[in-house]
Structure 1
Amino acid sequence: MKNTLYLLLLAFVLTGCKTDHNGEQDKDHDDPVAAVFEANSKTVMANLEGWQNENLDYSMYAGDFYLYETAFSAEKDSLSLEEMKAYDKEMWANYDFKMVSEAVLLPGVKRASTEPDGSVRHYPVWEVTKPATDSTEARTGTIRLYESFDFNEEGKILRQQVFGDFTGLMMYLHGEGDMMEQGE
């Protein structure tokens, strides 16, 4: 009787600890949201490569795209695709960019349900260099960012937002951040 009770208890514990996954956590290819996230992640990786190479393929953006303007004292709350293209061109003319952290892409979620929605976010570290001129030396700083991408049904980037201490970085790169150097 005692042995039967122990066997019954052991069977109960073993079946209670059984998992339903096949060892491929977070890779459920039968899940349509996971497939959308995977496709959107490829777009984000191409976006990051394009930015670093100063050759961004803007066809990955939707026609009604907008970039949230997160700068301190920004004149307006968002930029259109055309405004972003002009901004990118200006940034590439004045600075060199290199992502120095591994791109770990994370799924975004719906606010109400916290279920994945196909959006992509990540927390990169970028190295930004202001090249040397005849009168100044090159200067390099790093910035930690939060960046997220929302997509439309066609897999085009619909919204993008980037948060980081851009003011501090610019002050440092342009020589106004000598106190930052002393504190490091």
Structure 2
Amino acid sequence: MKKLIFVISVLFIYGCNNVSNPQYEANKALAEKWVKTFEDGNIDLWKEVVSEELLDVAPMYGMGQVDYATSLQVAEFYINNYTNVKFNDPVWLPGIDTATMSPDGSVRAYGVWTGDSKSTGRSFRITSYHNFDFKDGKIVSTGEYFDATGMVNAVGPVDRNVVVATLNVKKGSYDKVKEMLDSENGLTVTRNYDGCTHLEAFFNEETGKYFIIEYWESFEKYQKYLDWRLNDDPSRIAQELSKYLVGGSNGLVPHTNNIGYKFY
């Protein structure tokens, strides 16, 4: 008798947990259209299905949860930089309310993204997981879980044009130099200059040197940037910065025309 009651209880719980949510299929169609955005390279599909109230856990390292505007920028980045994109072998599953353990209309998806970099022609293949929540017929929250930063690096150029600039900072001037580099006229301008793909910066306390590692489409474009920065930049931040460097303007040393780059 006890065994019979146990079996009936298990069947009852199983049956309750497998009651489908009437919104699941409609919501799944919205999520599939979101995927289609990247396969077709059509940002209008993304705008059609995504709510402006969106909260998105972005896949790029360090980004965390972002809003609609930032998520749109991320989507545009993928569309503008990759082609032949496909979400392969998708597995679509209903999400559940963790309190009731019943389907709540949310959607989960597992699959493998493949595609090619437009700039280098190199291919990527990466396993991913996505979750979607909905409100008023639109995606209101989502999360993309895959190594986006690793993917971007993997399809980058085989040979990179790396510039390493060093700033020999006067003792006690680190905070001022950092403030200037982080200002709206600082390294953000460098990063957004034509030909700069990304950059990193850090300060070494033992040597008193700031290191700025920059990646450029060509050394010629870097030289064009440097000429502008030193001669035509209306902010004159380079001249102001030199006041806090050992040797003045000689305290800035760019190491360019480097060879033998390899990504390990």
Fold shared, TM-score > 0.5 on shorter chain: yes
Alignment pair present for 1:95 and 2:78: no
Once the 2 structures are TM-superposed, how far is the Cα of residue 102 of structure 1 from its aligned partner? 2.6
Residue type of the alignment partner of 1:67? D
Could you give the per-residue CA deviations for residues 116-171 of structure 1, whole angstroms, max 9, x where no partner exists? Answer: 11000111101131124xxxx5100101000010011x221110100011222122
1:163 counterpart (145, 152, 156): 145
- Paired residue for 1:66? 55
Question: Contact conserved, 2:52 with 2:68, CA < 8 A, in 1?
Answer: yes
Question: Residue 23 of structure 2: SS of its match in structure 1?
Answer: helix
Residue type of the alignment partner of 1:40? N
Residue type of the alignment partner of 2:103? P
Once the 2 structures are TM-superposed, how far is the Cα of residue 45 of structure 1 from its aligned partner? 1.3
- Paired residue for 1:149? 132
Question: Contact conserved, 2:96 with 2:103, CA < 8 A, in 1?
Answer: yes
Question: Contact conserved, 2:113 with 2:126, CA < 8 A, in 1?
Answer: yes
Q: Determine what percentage of the aligned residue pairs are the same residue.
A: 22
Give the alignment's Cα RMSD to 1 decimal: 2.7
Once the 2 structures are TM-superposed, how far is the Cα of residue 175 of structure 1 from its aligned partner? 4.5
Matches for 1:80-91 after TM superposition, within 5 Å: 80-91=67-78
What is the rounded CA distance, in whole Å, between the counterparts of 1:115 and 1:139 in structure 2? 43
Question: Contact conserved, 2:110 with 2:128, CA < 8 A, in 1?
Answer: yes
Once the 2 structures are TM-superposed, how far is the Cα of residue 97 of structure 1 from its aligned partner? 4.9
Aligned length: 146
What is the rounded CA distance, in whole Å, between the counterparts of 1:112 and 1:139 in structure 2? 45
TM-score, normalising length: structure 1: 0.68
Question: Residue 114 of structure 2: SS of its match in structure 1?
Answer: strand
Question: Residue 74 of structure 2: SS of its match in structure 1?
Answer: helix
Give 5+ residue unaligned stretches, structure 1.
1-15, 20-24, 180-184
TM-score, normalising length: structure 2: 0.49
Structure 1 residues 61 and 73 mapped into 2: Cα distance closer, same or farther (>3 Å)? closer
1:44 counterpart (2, 13, 31): 31
Which has the bigger relative contact order, CA under 8 A and spacing at least 6?
A: 1
Whose strand proportion is higher, 1 or 2?
2
Question: Contact conserved, 1:99 with 1:124, CA < 8 A, in 2?
Answer: no
Residue type of the alignment partner of 2:123? T
Question: Residue 123 of structure 1: SS of its match in structure 2?
Answer: strand
